[in-house]
Amino acid sequence: MQQLERDVDAVLISASAIQDEIRELAGQIAKDYDGRDLTIIGVLSGSIVFLADLIRFLPLRLRIKVISAASYGSGTTSAGEVQVLRGLDFDFGNEDVLIVDDILDTGRTLKRITEEIQRGNPRSIRSCVLLDKAARRVVDIQPDYRAFEIPDEFVVGYGLDFNGYYRNLPYIGKLRQEAILEA
């Protein structure tokens, strides 16, 4: 863990702040879906940590499914094209669906996944993101639930990666420029 932490320039959101906010988000989601079943769609791989913690606080009857999508590759900015690596071949007829993702920046991934889910005829679709990087938005889309809004900086930790690394950091941190250049 020390090697990973040396590559982080600054901790932007602490592990305890993340847990506190997830509890609050879960409370709001539970209130909004009270008495209804919920299907949660986790966007792999970045949402794994967030999704795992979020569902532990949801006192709802729920199902979990996953979709794999990517727009970054090995860079620090979105390539602009969303690849759905594992699609949604599910029928959502009359289900309430909540898309859970690690970060909303350009909006392309959330828009593409929402369109895929709409083909399955759900009763409702909402989205929940850990981080909202609104300054990078190019698609007119907003999350229904978000834990934190962050500035336009490249961040890692708590599920977010650079080149496949740093997902296991318990906080959100800004990666040192030298770590990016050394990759």
> Which residues carry out catalysis?
105
Q: Omega into 45 within 30° of 0, i.e. cis?
A: yes
- List all residues 6 or more positions away from 69 whose beta carbon is below 8 Å from its beta carbon: 43, 44, 82, 83, 84, 85, 109, 112, 113
- Here the tokens at position 113 are 């996944």
Q: How far apart are CA 62 and CA 29, in angstroms?
A: 12
Element (H, E) at 117: helix 108-118
Distance in Å from the first CA to the final CA of the chain: 17
In this structure, the number of other CB atoms found within 10 A of the CB of residue 143 comes to 20
Diameter over CA atoms, the chain:
51
